[in-house]
Structure 1
Amino acid sequence: MEQKSVRESVVSSWTNDVIPSLSGLVAIPALSPAFDAEWAKSGHLAAAVGHVREWIAGRDLPGATLEVVQLEDRTPLLLVDVPATPGAADKGTVLMYGHLDKQPPVGGWSEGLGPWTPVIRDGRLYGRGSVDDGYSGYAATTAIEAVHAAGGEHARIVLLLETGEESGSPDLPAYVEHLADRIGDVSLVVCLDAGGSDYERLWLVTSLRGMLHLDVTVQLLGSAQHSGVASGVVASSFRILRHLIERLEDSATGELLLDELKVDVPANRLAELKAVSQDFPEALSKAFPLVEGGRVITEDALELMLNNAWRPTLSVIGADGFPKPADAGNVLRESTTLTLSFRLPPTADAEKALEAVKKALTTDVPYGAKVTFSDNPQAENGWNAPTESPWLTTALRTVSDEVFGRPHRATGMGGSIPFMGLLSRKFPAAQFLVTGACGADSNIHVPDEWLHLDYAQQVTEAVAHILDAHARG
């Protein structure tokens, strides 16, 4: 495609059309279902879907059909079906993905900013959901329009915008199954829910960690007792649970100890991380707001990247059975509950990992204490991108040179996008482009979330070229 026409189309659409509508989307408090039990009653998810649907319906997408799909007791989903251009009818389906649900607002936004108040300042659009992931549907649509404006080609495109990603996408498998015939044979997946370490080049995510999430409770007493009377006779439930967790993790190093949670890092992924660690030696060590005097686990940039992308980790993210410090009496509590959140290597088997964790926590429990687990623990496999096809390699080199003027970089992401693993299993022959406009300082999930507007336009431009390259093979 002619580069100038693509860029002009993208810039014009973003400036005149995308930014005003995206700002309106930011203003909708469309909390993900995990954070709004009354989501169906509040109607915010439906409002977000309706807002984006109305905008896309007004765009120039020849032959496109739009439908809000909602299965019983499930969050709504927007499906946009765009026919192939004449020269690409035999290229399968491009499945483009994003989400419209949001994380909670949380407090601490800077003066003049707020989660539901879209503000443009210094080339950034502030507000919850601006970069994670409200912009995605706009970027996908604008990229398709740019292909048409430049006389390019694209295969049939199905755009799915869900509303449960921030809750772990619990409804998405049902929708993929329900829409299987309409989605068709997917040859390329484009996910716009990612990013990288800077805003100077195209970033690809080539792996995602899986996860385990479960509550574990240890109980020894039938009822709480005076700590002065019972301690030294009856063990603390917290001490027992702490001892059990030591079977899973070396508390001195953070290394997880169960073989079922570990994998060998593939050579191509190791090479990618080495390249990024050399280009961005402080990408992770300087990414987080440590307390004065605090430091990261190691100063070795490659080790940090391996830890974050390919090694298992454990975080205790919740607790129950404890009174607040101001209410704590001299009591030996009857039980302790901790919420354990594991991040698993991309190729680890999550179900086997879960069984290994349960076995370690329930075998030879000290003092005969009772160990129980939450009823519905999460066990999600990660994802490792398939081998890159020659057409995609060539296209990435082209857009890196013409759009960004710098080589692209690929890396693993420590978080999870459950949809990618689902799609890789369902469409094993598909190529994957997992990218996006999120940077290390975009503040997703925390106060002052923001979208880099110029970079989002460049990502949109790159996607347009890759759609054309896919159609031409």
Structure 2
Amino acid sequence: MNAPDRLPAPDADTLAAWVNQRWDEDLIPQLRQYIEIPARSPMFDPDWVAHGHIETVMRRAAEWVESRRVPGLTLEVIRLVDAAGRPRTPVLFFEVPATAPSTDPGPAPTVLMYGHLDKQPEFSGWRSDLGPWTPVIDQDRLYGRGGADDGYAVYASITAIEALKRQGRAHPRIVGLIETCEESGSHDLPACIDALGGRLGEVSLVVCLDSGAGNYDQLWLTTSLRGNVTGTLKVEVLEEGVHSGDASGLVPSSFRILRQVLDRLEDSATGRLLPGVFHCEVPGDRLRQARDTALILGDEVWKRYPWACGADGGATLPTTTDPTEALLNRTWRPTLSVTGADGFPGLGQAGNVLRPFTAFKLSLRLPPLVEASTACQALKQLLELDAPYNARVTFEADDRLGGGATGWNAPSLAPWLERAMDSASRAHYGAPLAFIGQGGTIPLMNLLQQGFPKAQMMVCGVLGPKSNAHGPNEFLHLPYAKRLTAAVADVIAAHP
């Protein structure tokens, strides 16, 4: 049975039923096809143009949007080149005119909807019956790379708009930006926004569907995002490998030197970053929200992770079991992760050779209020200065934005938006709106905050417990995504 062309007067149950039907009949099949395409972000696929996967997911999304024939919607795929003449990643831009006249004498307000179609690489460790490019539905979860992060966003956004149209509900002007470079730091997006010029309009509300949820029981508003500096730390001691029996004890180990250098940055016993430049004070309102969220989630804040078996047979322990401290650790405190390594042969090929170099890929998460470029400069100086044994130590940031991505702290929430989101949460989830900071990074948010300082921010998403974006067994929680789609429609309709 196809969804009806016209729905009855606004009603939460009717809206939810229509959205659920659209998901089951159309969105899930679209996302299954999307998951099958290895549209790795350019950082992980330098030959993305030749491979054509990003072009395929963009083309299919654009064709689907046009096929919906949303009244008044116009669509364009923005294709630019950089200063060297190389293609930039494409961006889907759509526009839907307002149906409600503005009562403000100034420029008409605009809602901007955001998502992305590029993906993280496969990673290892997928369940034996799953795979990154194999869509599988199991217990209301759609498994596969990119479905939750963030392929669903463009389909959910258009469906929310379509729901408003079919219920005859008034809405402001709506524009959409769906990029294909987010997982590489969104380095092509600023050029696209510059090229669009005034076509974005006076953005008064940003709806970003690329974030997380504390549970699957209510609507969650993201209040902050950490920044990030990524790069390669490399220690070189020899021009080529030599017999370890001959050289060890005389030639210093590149791995040991790398450990010494990292000791300048991190207390290995606690994980705390030592230099003050990487820290900031947590605002009082965020502390209060963390305490409130800790009461909702309790131990699930840390129990949600797939802990390995520990030394005594029990699970590995987190850095803290205090829910409030756990929330602050993953949102407002800097943390170092080693996400890759080079210079090591595989275990089966590891002979008695003292290796000439060791290289680590570092990911330094920064508190929302720490400037990424400043942190990047401080990190490079800290790691490279006065190298032990006069070894060749280099740190090269790999972010094309020029030193990392600065985090984001949401502006004060307008009363109308808080009421609208709480009402939508109660209507579609049966529970009140909740607030949570996120440890990830969305570079666009700072860019939009600077460009539209008066805009309100509805940053939400489907990445709840165990959804595991970027890792193995990533899944999209289908019931939550359906409810979120309906909630977004209600919030847009409530725009003043």
When normalised by structure 1's length, the TM-score is: 0.93
Q: Matched residue of 1:380: which SS?
A: coil
1:228–1:98 distance in 2 versus 1, CA, 3 Å = same
**Distance in 1 between residues matched to 2:181 and 2:301, nearest whole Å:** 28
Q: Does 1:365 align with 2:351?
A: no
CA distance in 2, matches of 1:446, 1:164: 18
Note if 1:381 corresponds to 2:403: no
Given that 2:384 and 2:395 are in contact with CA atoms closer than 8 Å, whether structure 1 keeps it comes out as no
* Ranges in structure 2 where 5+ consecutive residues have no aligned partner: 1-9, 82-86, 311-315
Cα distance in 1 between the residues matched to 2:352 and 2:134: 47
Q: Classify 1:4/1:337 alpha carbon distance in 2 versus 1 (closer, same or farther; 3 Å).
A: closer
**Counterpart check, 1:66 vs 2:80:** no
Distance in 2 (CA, whole Å) between partners of 1:411 and 1:32 is 27
Cα distance in 1 between the residues matched to 2:140 and 2:350:
49
Q: Note if 1:295 corresponds to 2:284.
A: no
Shift of 1:4: 4.1
CA–CA separation in structure 1 for the residues paired with 2:54 and 2:456: 30
Provide the residue aligned with 2:372 in structure 1: 350
CA distance in 1 between partners of 2:252 and 2:124 (Å):
39
Q: What is the distance in 2 between the residues matched to 1:134 and 1:467?
A: 21
| Alpha-carbon contact 1:189-1:432 (below 8 Å) kept | yes
Shift of residue 466 of structure 1?
0.9
Q: 2:418 aligns with which of 359, 375, 393?
A: 393
**Residues 318-467 of structure 1 mapped to structure 2, 5 A cutoff:** 318-374=340-396, 376=398, 378-467=403-492
Deviates more, 1:68-77 or 1:18-27: 18-27
Number of residue pairs matched by the alignment: 471
Q: Is the 8 A contact 2:397 2:404 kept in 1?
A: no
Query: Which amino acid letter does the alignment assign opposite residue 25 of structure 1?
Result: Y
Name 1:38's counterpart in structure 2: 47
Using the TM superposition, name which of 88-97 and 205-214 deviates more.
88-97
Q: Secondary structure at the residue paired with 1:246? A: helix
Aligned residue in 2 for 1:254: 271
What RMSD in Å do the two structures reach over aligned CA positions?
A: 2.2
The aligned runs of 1:47-126 (5 Å cut-off) are: 47-72=56-81, 73-88=87-102, 90-110=107-127, 112-126=129-143
Partner deviation per Cα, 1:165-222 (whole Å, 9 max, x = no partner): 2222221121112113211221111011122122110011111110111212233445
Give me the whole-angstrom Cα distance separating, in 2, the residues matched to 1:218 and 1:27: 39
**Aligned in 2, Cα 1:218/1:121: closer, same or farther, shift over 3 Å?**
closer
Percent identical pairs in the alignment equals: 49
Query: Which residue of 1 is the match for residue 294 of structure 2?
Result: 277
Distance 1:80 1:219, change over 3 A: same
The 1:58–1:362 alpha-carbon spacing in structure 2 relative to 1, beyond 3 Å, is: closer
How far, CA to CA, are the matches of 1:143 and 1:357 in structure 2? 43
Q: Deviations over 1:415-449 (max 9, x none)?
A: 11111122112211111011022222223223333
Q: Residue 60 of structure 2 aligns to a residue in which SS?
A: helix
Distance 1:257 1:86 in 2: 53
Alpha-carbon contact 2:218-2:432 (below 8 Å) kept:
yes
Aligned partner of 2:232 in structure 1 is 215
Q: CA deviation at 1:161?
A: 1.1
Matched, 1:266 2:288: no
Change (3 A) 1:17 1:466: same
2:3 is matched with which residue?
A: none
CA distance in 2, matches of 1:375, 1:413: 23
Q: What are the Cα deviations for residues 356-383 of structure 1, in whole angstroms up to 9, with x where unaligned? A: 2222223333333332222645411011
> Which residue does 2:84 correspond to in 1?
none
Rounded to whole Å, the distance in 2 between the matches of 1:147 and 1:274 is 36
Q: Quick one: structure 1 residues 218 and 91, their matched pair in 2 at CA, closer, same or farther if it must change by over 3 Å?
A: same
User: What does 1:166-245 align with in structure 2 at a 5 Å threshold?
Assistant: 166-221=183-238, 224-245=241-262
Counterpart residue identity of residue 79, structure 2: Q
Return the letter of the residue paired with 2:19: V
* Contact 1:75 1:171 survives alignment (8 Å): yes
Aligned to 2:32: 23
1:306, distance to aligned residue in structure 2 (A): 0.9
Distance 1:225 1:13, change over 3 A: closer
The correspondence for 2:163, drawn from 146, 153, 157, is 146
Instruction: Using the TM superposition, name which of 155-164 and 357-366 deviates more.
Output: 357-366
Contact 1:6 1:149 in 2 (8 A): no
| Separation of aligned partners in 1, 2:423 and 2:78 | 37
TM-score by structure 2 length? 0.89
